[in-house]
Structure 1
Amino acid sequence: MSLLSNIHVGLPWPASAHRVALICGSYCYYHYGCDGMDDRGWGCGYRTLQTICSWLVEAGMGGAVSRPVPSLREIQHALVAMGDKPPSFSGSREWIGTVEAALCMDHFYSVPGKLVHICHGRDLEKELESLYAHFQGGGGPIMVGGDRDHSAKALLGVSSGPKGHQLLVLDPHYYGTPGSLKRDELQNMGWVCWRELSFFEDSSFYNLCFPQAKAGGHLG
């Protein structure tokens, strides 16, 4: 696969931003259909996890011989092998979320994922300092998933200014072959863009999964 990397590069900062923190290191953009599998409607959690795994590979996780990014089926097989899912999960179209993502990061790369539960979308504001600390400390993509808002996505940055706070959101729901759109086209279509906190539904809870690694090694 010839996947695009770092598709947020060149995206302007929010207007009047006076504080910005962005992802460190490099990642590949995994999205619906990028490996020839049509996973529309169920694969967004897997694609977000794959994006995080690509960052872990670039960050040097997984040993001297880095383990490649797992496929959707490899992710399913691993969750079955760990006892998290029944055998029928392999080959299914069942979703995964932040808990499964944390299990898989640990399984494939020995990197734990810190899970943070947020009761309502508006409560994301309470986690802004944690987001700043993560990205300023060399952290990678953060997976986000909810209940009413069940579309998995990744956070790549955080911004604050007189007009409020914004998060840099990477959306895996684009469907197409690798390289079918250029970086600027993906940006113009909103597959990676700055979002106001109001983008996150107040009626939904959210879980955040912070990979406990930084560009160049483990956090802590």
Structure 2
Amino acid sequence: MVLADSNPPDTATLLRVRGPLEFRCKLDSTDVSLMHRVISRTFENLHSNVKSESLVFTVRESPVIIWPNKGFNVTPEEITPNTLCEDIFQWVKTDELEIASRKSTKKKGKKMSTASIINLCLMMEVTKPGPLPAPTFSKTVEKHHLLCITLPMDCVVRMTCNETMSNACERLLEELEGQLYEMERVTLQYMTGAAVPVPQPLHFLLPEPKGLKTVVFPAEVPDSQLETHRRELHHRFELPEDRPYFRRTNAYHFPDEVYKDGYLRNPHLILTHPTLEDGKLYLVQGIYSYHHYMQDRMEDNGWGCAYRSLQTICSWFRQQGYIERTIPTHKEIQQALVDIGDKQATFVGSRQWIGSIEVQAVLDHLLGVTSKIMFVSQGSEIASKGRELATHFLTEGTPVMIGGGVLAHTILGVAWSETTGQIRYLILDPHYTGAEDLQVIIDKGWCGWKGPDFWDQTAYYNLCLPQRPKTI
């Protein structure tokens, strides 16, 4: 069985601590080795701060405050070192809309495969107990190069349901220490003269059993200049070098974070899969966004379904880190077809349909992605293509665009039985014209499983099967 993606399982609790650490040092020399020593000493001071009793974790949207280096001193007092991680949720203020959404989902028997998140803030106490001495002032005039960087610490640990908060804090402290070491390494590696890059931690969900891993990149350096760095990471985690696991666009999106672009991601995840005799599931691998009629203030109802299917495919390649460009608009798609000589200049700005062949051409021209075309002379033959589609989702895992007559759809997977030949298709329908309401989309079948009778049995169809580029 091939699953759509490998998010941390439901039984896991992710503890994520974020917060700034101020990095300050004087670089009064142009000698590289001396500057490296000064930077390293400053990182040593930050390690001491992380180990000090002044370090504080606060659980966001809650009254919970933890001093992990003070023998696990916690407020409220009801929380002890043996309190289970999942029990912290009772202290967290939950949005009423979120509660209502959970209840609605539970009633319908549908569940999104995501882990629970406990968000913590990293803070440092700046005052000490007892009376404070009177302030004194002194003035010194000197010239020096003061380096000030705010380090954006961001650490995550995955805890099972029976692990305690004491264990979680121990692991978070270890992660903070390790992240500081990695930030120091990246800072020294990528600094040029007195210009020091800001180290940027990112999280990536790797194939099981590796799970969620944190990587530090220099923020100002683009992905195009980090191939050697990524190749080292592939070797470190024993990953094949034919997929871009560590590009920034492929960074893990936490379940409690909202996508700023407003598009729904992977609506099929809450569907109940069909059960076929000796059947298996072969599904899209990774993340895509749902593109459909009337989005982006574009009135394409009645003619833009293939454009929307193409946008969904492009979103998949962006989300998996294969491309950095934005999702092409209708006009950009049309201009690409003009540029390659497939259409006349009057095609740009028109409401003319496109099909699978045009989708293949645009993917190649704009994304550098090749595609295979599967020709089906009539819809009744699509039921016999189970093996080809299963192989595609097993090996490539990309969304498939299918066009026939005046309609286009996106195939996200198949449930197929090799012994009986039974087949069901997971369809993402671009003809939807409503709001980004996941429940409506699922309930009305705009994303759902369809049988062989879904296709016009006498119409011809072309299927565009995009292929993964071999790259890191």
TM-score, normalised to structure 1, is 0.90
| CA positional deviation for 1:26 | 0.5
| CA positional deviation for 1:163 | 9.2
| CA positional deviation for 1:160 | 2.6
The equivalent residue for 2:444 is 189
The equivalent residue for 1:108 is 366
Aligned pair partner of 2:410 in 141, 154, 177: 154
CA distance in 1, matches of 2:425, 2:351: 29
Matches within 5 A, 1:57-206: 57-62=318-323, 66-147=324-405, 150-161=406-417, 164-176=422-434, 180-206=435-461
The equivalent residue for 2:283 is 22
| CA positional deviation for 1:175 | 1.0
Q: Which consecutive unaligned segments of at least 5 residues does structure 1 have?
A: none
- SS of residue in 2 equivalent to 1:9: helix
The equivalent residue for 2:294 is 33
CA distance in 1, matches of 2:361, 2:424: 28
- SS of residue in 2 equivalent to 1:2: coil
Aligned residues: 208
CA distance in 2, matches of 1:163, 1:99: 28
Say if 2:396 and 2:467, in contact at 8 Å, map to a contact too: no
CA distance in 2, matches of 1:69, 1:181: 18
CA distance in 2, matches of 1:26, 1:86: 35
CA distance in 2, matches of 1:119, 1:196: 18
The equivalent residue for 1:42 is 303
| CA positional deviation for 1:119 | 0.6
| CA positional deviation for 1:113 | 1.3
| CA positional deviation for 1:181 | 3.5
Structure possessing the higher radius of gyration over alpha carbons: 2
The equivalent residue for 1:6 is 266
CA distance in 2, matches of 1:141, 1:158: 11
CA distance in 1, matches of 2:385, 2:275: 22
CA distance in 1, matches of 2:344, 2:430: 26
Change (3 A) 1:127 1:218: farther
CA distance in 2, matches of 1:218, 1:152: 28
* Range with greater deviation from structure 2 (13-22 or 126-135): 13-22
CA distance in 2, matches of 1:155, 1:166: 11
Which amino acid letter does the alignment assign opposite residue 403 of structure 2? G
| CA positional deviation for 1:164 | 2.6
The equivalent residue for 2:317 is 56
TM-score, normalised to structure 2, is 0.43
| CA positional deviation for 1:193 | 0.8
Deviations along 1:4-44, one digit per CA (max 9) or x if unpaired, are: 01111110011346311110011000011110111001100
- SS of residue in 2 equivalent to 1:35: helix
- Report the RMSD for the aligned CA atoms in angstroms: 1.6
Say if 1:16 and 1:163, in contact at 8 Å, map to a contact too: no
CA distance in 2, matches of 1:181, 1:55: 18
Which amino acid letter does the alignment assign opposite residue 450 of structure 2? R
CA distance in 2, matches of 1:143, 1:163: 22
Which amino acid letter does the alignment assign opposite residue 121 of structure 1? G
Change (3 A) 1:135 1:163: closer
